[in-house]
Chain A
Amino acid sequence: MKRPTGSFFLNIPIKKILLVTLIIISIIAIWEISLDYFNIPKRIAPKPSNIYEFIQKEFFTEHSSRYQNILIKAMYSIRDALIGFVISLILGTFLGILISRSSYIYSVLFPFLFLTQLVPVPALAPVIAALLGYGFLTKISIIVLFTIFPVMIAVRKTIINLPENYNLLLHSYTHKNKDLLRYLILPSLVPTILSTMKILCSASIVASIITELPLSVRTGIGKDIYNSFNNQIIPRVWTSILLISAISLIFFLCISNLEKYINNKYKYGQF
């Protein structure tokens, strides 16, 4: 019997690609026509042709090489989102394991972390900035605070729901926590961590962009969207949003395929 190995690469049928392309073209066409038809002002929404003109000017003219374009600014935001994403994943997994192993730590830590989820990011930013300054460190801390909670909860839930017979078996071999962690807990957490990564990828990008507004970070697409909106450069705002959405989507698809590949090939956490 041939064992399923999974595939890391996209395997989308041509029909589906054509259908999606057709839908996108139709939306763009309806968008272009309806703005003219309903006389919608540019400050509310630009036409796709305006966005196209802006993209031409921003990326493909001599003018674009003279200053930092939105792609470079987006990359700064993505870099910070990625740093926050990795820290959240590692720290969240560690804390999730900790609160699942000790009810005392859970009762101490959980209310505090839950409270951070109730406060909106812009409100939390000045509090953390007062401690860590208005720069990079605060930005990363806020991204981590914004994204760590689902990781912790998912990790804890997976550990406390591990089938009892597996816990008993491992207990009959070892009483050392490090062995339980290595042979049972960490492999069982792989699917949970992978599916949490999908939630985290867009959440960390959103957190990275929102955090730029109250902080004095100069580079970053969040700040650029805010400034462009204030200066009424609406096509720039929309292009930035489309760019960020495209990057988030690519990020999500990569993680989604990685998840399928690892789950099919290695079968971690399957009982």
Chain B
Amino acid sequence: MGSSKPISIKNLHVLFNGDRSKHLHVLENISFTLDADSFVTIIGPSGCGKSTLFRLISGLPTKDSCEIGGEIKIFGKEPRVASEDRDIGLILQKPTLLEWRSVAKNMLLPLEIMGYEKEKGRKKVNKLLKILELEPYAHYRPSELSGGMQQKVSIGRALAYNPELLLMDEPFAALDEVNRRKMNDEIIRIWKEMEKTILFVTHNIQEAVYLSQKVIVLSKKPSRIYKIVDIDLEYPRSKVEASNKYYKYIKEIREYLNEATV
């Protein structure tokens, strides 16, 4: 991957061509880069195009009627190529686990598709189960786990093939406050331990400040980058979340979001 940035986006714009010449400008002039091993969060009002941006970065198929301009590079490659090269680990809003496979087999899925040797794959998954503290549940079915645990399995599945970049689309949105906080701590622990670059999408300001080193605030449609806020707080954030500085960041981002929605 050399010295290429995990994510480099230049002048990205997306236009949806609707019926009867109705065009919808979703993203406009989006440019940013992510450094290796960084944790960056994208935040914006509902429907601002966060998920479209997420799809484009992930190399996932977009609507046929979509016009895309500008450049997205993942480690210097097209997103689809990066996805095929297993540089990207995807964690979606829903855990998206296959009920007919056990927890361990769900985590093994990408390795099976990649044609990994069975024994080698199993060892890798066992190691991950240990790191994620999921060992006792290896043979459970996904529906037998809580929402937080299911999301943990989906994180494990994304980590199974050791991608350098993790893309997370509101992964804890469906969890209650207590579990969300637990999972936030968990994801920071994984990020520190495994030295990954993480791009996290959320609409929760507290979560954005708690997790990341940098918060990108998007405006309403047509979405532009309204502000990029560097979060200069030490980890673990649980130690500083009662500080004035922490609340100042939350207040600042809330104000930016309010301005960006007008």
Residues of A participating in the B interface, judged by any CB pair closer than 8 Å: 1, 3, 163, 165-166, 168-169, 171-175, 179, 183-184, 187, 266-271
How far apart are A205's CB and chain B's nearest CB, in angstroms? Answer: 31
Q: In this complex, what residue of B is CB-closest to A1? A: B144
CA distance A172 to B90 in the complex (A): 7
Name the contact of B99 in the complex, choosing from A169, A179, A271 (C-beta under 8 A): A271
Q: Are B99 and A165 in contact (CB under 8 A)?
A: no
Residues on the B chain within 8 Å of A268, using CB? 100
Residues 25-46 of chain B, each 1 if its beta carbon lies under 8 Å from chain A, else 0: 0000000000000000000000
Contacts of B59 in A (CB 8 A): 172
Asked whether B92 lies within 8 Å of A3 as measured between CB atoms, the reply is no
| A contacts with B: majority SS | helix
**CB-based contact B92/A168 at 8 Å:** yes
B90 touches A169 (CB 8 A): yes
Known: A165-B94, A173-B110. 19 other contacts (CB 8 A): A1-B144, A163-B94, A163-B96, A166-B96, A166-B98, A168-B90, A172-B59, A172-B83, A172-B90, A173-B113, A183-B112, A183-B113, A187-B98, A266-B100, A267-B99, A267-B141, A267-B143, A270-B99, A270-B100
Q: What residues of B have a CB within 8 angstroms of the CB of A269 in the complex?
A: 100
Digit string of B100-135 for contact with A (CB within 8 Å is 1, else 0)?
100000000110111000000000000000000000
User: Chain B, interface size: which category?
Assistant: 20 to 34
Partner of B100, one of A169, A175, A187: A187
Contacting B58 at CB < 8 Å: which of A172, A184, A270?
A: A172
Enumerate the 5 nearest inter-chain pairs by beta-carbon distance, A residue then B residue, closest first: A270-B99, A267-B99, A172-B90, A268-B100, A165-B96
Cα(A19)–Cα(B108), bound, Å: 51
- 12 A-B residue pairs with Cβ-Cβ distance under 8 Å, sorted by A, are A1-B144, A168-B55, A168-B90, A168-B92, A169-B96, A171-B61, A172-B90, A173-B113, A173-B114, A183-B109, A183-B112, A267-B100
Once the chains are docked, how many angstroms separate the CA of A268 from the CA of B60?
25
In the bound complex, CA of A226 to CA of B60 (Å):
61
Instruction: Say yes or no: is B201 at the interface (Cβ < 8 Å to chain A).
Output: no
Chain B residue numbers with a CB within 8 Å of A3 are: 141, 144
In the assembled complex, B216 has its CB within 8 A of some CB on chain A: no
Measured between alpha carbons, how far is A270 from B100 in the docked complex, in Å?
Answer: 7
On chain B, the residues within 8 Å of A173 by CB distance are 109-110, 113-114
A165 touches B92 (CB 8 A): yes
Residues of B within 8 A of A165 (CB): 92-94, 96
